[in-house]
């Protein structure tokens, strides 16, 4: 690519409230041992009653802007990935624009569930390389705790709330994002969805009584497709950048489940030591999982200028997405 884009600032916001496995085991029929063995998760964060996704997004966005040395008025586009917007409309990106005090720039929400952040990066990259924008904010923010059935042990142990953000700007040739590989298949809609509250099943007493406003998932089926699709998407992104597994210095996978991450490592042929993993502390935070992990990987010194990295996501839809990046290189 002649003109590129790269990440120049990262931010994260995680709610204060921690719920451990042991605490969950006091209200549902589960154990710390079962959850750790099947998922790797030890604890997760849950938003305070007054916090919605745009509040989490705001905390992450402020930090990312500060790290980028940019102000809200520098933004040319705001992209927010979320499956749990504050309300059906207006979008989280519009709420964020107002709260940040940004100019009246384009505001766009991306509804690709756990893949939303990678899709958002792709949109931001496209806007920069096509000359539509110089500085773009991409946020992944979700409060899955609000759509979780806390009595369903097969799902409530898996998720947590968080937000992560990145500011993108132009990159020197050969630096920053090198490739994207996005995909989707609506055939997966039967295995992971939230049935009611949209135009097909508007909210009613019956939908509430049936529990149709909770996330529903066929876990084993989603697992099977995730472990096949994530390595394929990552390999596709590598191929598009003319890279091979040996070139990879770090991988930021969607943090859904430790067993999925190990399987992706095996199938992709990149050692697990190169994967940054924090699912133990946050569970699956959906759109926030990749930016929060990237933020922590950079903070932990696991990512240096010039390193080649892969981010890879899979989520409801189904949707999936991967990208490669040569870290740093702001123009
Ligand atoms: N505690 C104790 N037992 C449980 C629990 C729990 N929290 N949850 C389920 N079980 C029981 C089940 O009832 C079942 O019992 P049974 O055999 O008597 O019927 C048994 O454990 C095995 O259940 P499975 O669902 O087959 O367990 P599995 O080993 O497949 O693990 C899990 C379930 C962790 C959900 C796994 O399927 C998974 O990780 N799937 C991927 C889901 C995911 O991460 N989705 C997120 C969105 S997409 C994405 O981000 C990748």
Tell me which residues have their CB closer than 6 angstroms to ligand 1: 30, 34-35, 38-39, 114, 153-154, 157-158, 192, 217, 219-220, 222-223, 226, 254, 256-257, 284, 314-315
47 occurs within a structural domain: yes
116 occurs within a structural domain: yes
Percent of the chain residues past pLDDT 90, beyond the cut:
98
Tell me the C-alpha distance between 186 and 316, whole Å.
Answer: 9
Per-residue pLDDT tens over the stretch 272-324: 999 999 999 999 999 999 999 999 999 999 999 999 999 999 999 999 999 99
- Check whether residue 136 and residue 208 sit in a common domain: no
Q: What is the mean pLDDT of residues 40-65?
A: 98
- Check whether residue 162 and residue 223 sit in a common domain: no
pLDDT-based confidence at residue 2 (cuts at 50, 70, 90): low
Q: Catalytic residues, which ones?
A: 114, 254, 284
Angle at 95 between CA 89 and CA 98, to 5 degrees: 140
Ligand 1 midpoint to CA 106 (Å): 40
306 occurs within a structural domain: yes
Q: What is the mean pLDDT of residues 36-65?
A: 98
Per-residue pLDDT tens over the stretch 172-184: 989 999 999 999 9
Strand partners, 143: 161
Tell me the C-alpha distance between 251 and 85, whole Å.
Answer: 28
Average pLDDT, the chain: 97
Per-residue pLDDT tens over the stretch 187-226: 999 999 999 999 999 999 999 999 999 999 999 999 999 9
Least confident of 1-5, 78-82, 145-149, 211-215: 1-5
Ligand 1 midpoint to CA 238 (Å): 31
Percent of the chain residues past pLDDT 70, beyond the cut:
99
- Ligand 1 atom showing the smallest separation from residue 157 Cα: 7
Ligand 1 midpoint to CA 223 (Å): 9
The distance of Cα 20 from the centroid of its chain, to the nearest Å, equals 22
Per-residue pLDDT tens over the stretch 229-244: 999 999 999 999 999 9
Into how many domains does the chain fold? 2
331 occurs within a structural domain: no
- Check whether residue 158 and residue 196 sit in a common domain: no
305 occurs within a structural domain: yes
Q: What is the mean pLDDT of residues 34-61?
A: 98
Question: Which of 222, 260, 264 best tests ligand 1's pocket when mutated (most atoms within 8 Å of CB)?
Answer: 222
29 occurs within a structural domain: yes
- Check whether residue 192 and residue 300 sit in a common domain: yes
- Check whether residue 256 and residue 299 sit in a common domain: yes
Q: Residue 174, exposed/middle/buried by CB under 10 A (0-12, 13-18, 19+)?
A: exposed
Single out the residue in 173, 197, 225 at which a domain terminates. Answer: 173
- Ligand 1 atom showing the smallest separation from residue 230 Cα: 51
- Check whether residue 19 and residue 89 sit in a common domain: yes
Q: Whose CA is nearest to atom 5 of ligand 1?
A: 154
- Check whether residue 140 and residue 22 sit in a common domain: yes
Q: Whose CA is nearest to atom 44 of ligand 1?
A: 256
End-to-end CA distance of the chain: 14
- Check whether residue 167 and residue 273 sit in a common domain: no
- Check whether residue 185 and residue 65 sit in a common domain: no
Model confidence at 160: pLDDT above 70: yes
Rounded to whole angstroms, what are the CA distances from 22 to 26, 30, 44, 48, 259? Answer: 7, 9, 12, 20, 21
- Give the range of the structural domain holding residue 92, as residue numbers without chain letter: 4-173
Structure token digits, residue 262: 């190990």
- Check whether residue 37 and residue 122 sit in a common domain: yes
Tell me the C-alpha distance between 186 and 4, whole Å.
Answer: 31
Tell me the C-alpha distance between 73 and 134, whole Å.
Answer: 12
Ligand 1 midpoint to CA 154 (Å): 5
Strand partners, 310: 251, 324
Per-residue pLDDT tens over the stretch 93-119: 999 999 999 999 999 999 999 999 999
- Ligand 1 atom showing the smallest separation from residue 24 Cα: 7
Question: Which of 32, 34, 36, 38 best tests ligand 1's pocket when mutated (most atoms within 8 Å of CB)?
Answer: 38
- Check whether residue 82 and residue 230 sit in a common domain: no
pTM value is: 0.97
Model confidence at 1: pLDDT above 60: no
pLDDT-based confidence at residue 15 (cuts at 50, 70, 90): very high
Ligand 1 midpoint to CA 306 (Å): 39
- Check whether residue 147 and residue 283 sit in a common domain: no
Identify the CATH number of the domain in which residue 166 sits. 3.40.47.10
69 occurs within a structural domain: yes
Single out the residue in 116, 144, 173 at which a domain terminates. Answer: 173
Single out the residue in 173, 206, 237 at which a domain terminates. Answer: 173
pLDDT-based confidence at residue 3 (cuts at 50, 70, 90): confident
């Amino acid at each position: 690519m002649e003109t590129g884009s790269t990440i120049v600032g990262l931010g994260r916001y995680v709610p204060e409230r921690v719920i451990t496995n042991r605490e969950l085991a006091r209200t549902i029929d589960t154990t710390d041992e079962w959850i750790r063995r099947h998922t790797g998760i030890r604890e997760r964060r849950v938003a305070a009653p007054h916090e919605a996704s745009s509040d989490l997004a705001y905390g992450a966005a402020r930090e990312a802007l500060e790290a980028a040395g940019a102000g809200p008025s520098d933004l040319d586009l705001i992209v927010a990935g979320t499956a749990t917007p504050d309300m059906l409309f207006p979008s989280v990106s519009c709420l964020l624009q107002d709260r940040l005090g940004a100019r009246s720039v384009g505001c766009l929400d991306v509804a690709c569930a756990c893949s939303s952040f990678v899709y958002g990066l792709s949109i931001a990259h496209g806007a920069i390389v096509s000359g539509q924008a110089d500085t773009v904010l991409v946020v992944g923010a979700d409060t899955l705790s609000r759509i979780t059935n806390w009595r369903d042990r097969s799902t409530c142990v898996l998720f947590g709330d968080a937000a992560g953000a990145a500011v993108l700007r132009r990159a020197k040739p050969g630096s920053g994002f090198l490739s994207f590989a996005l995909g989707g298949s609506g055939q997966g809609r039967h295995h992971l969805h939230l049935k009611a509250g949209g135009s097909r099943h508007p909210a009613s007493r019956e939908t509430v009584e049936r529990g149709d406003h909770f996330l529903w998932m066929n876990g084993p089926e989603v697992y099977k497709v995730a472990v096949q699709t994530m390595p394929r998407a990552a390999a596709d992104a590598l191929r598009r950048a003319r890279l091979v597994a040996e070139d990879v210095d770090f991988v930021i996978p969607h943090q859904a489940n430790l067993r999925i991450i190990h399987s992706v490592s095996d199938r992709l042929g990149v050692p697990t030591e190169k994967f940054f993993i924090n699912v133990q502390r946050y569970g699956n935070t959906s759109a926030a999982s990749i930016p929060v992990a990237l933020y922590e990987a950079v903070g932990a010194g696991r990512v240096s200028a010039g390193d080649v990295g892969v981010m890879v996501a899979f989520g409801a839809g189904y949707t999936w997405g991967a990208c490669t990046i040569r870290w740093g290189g702001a123009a």
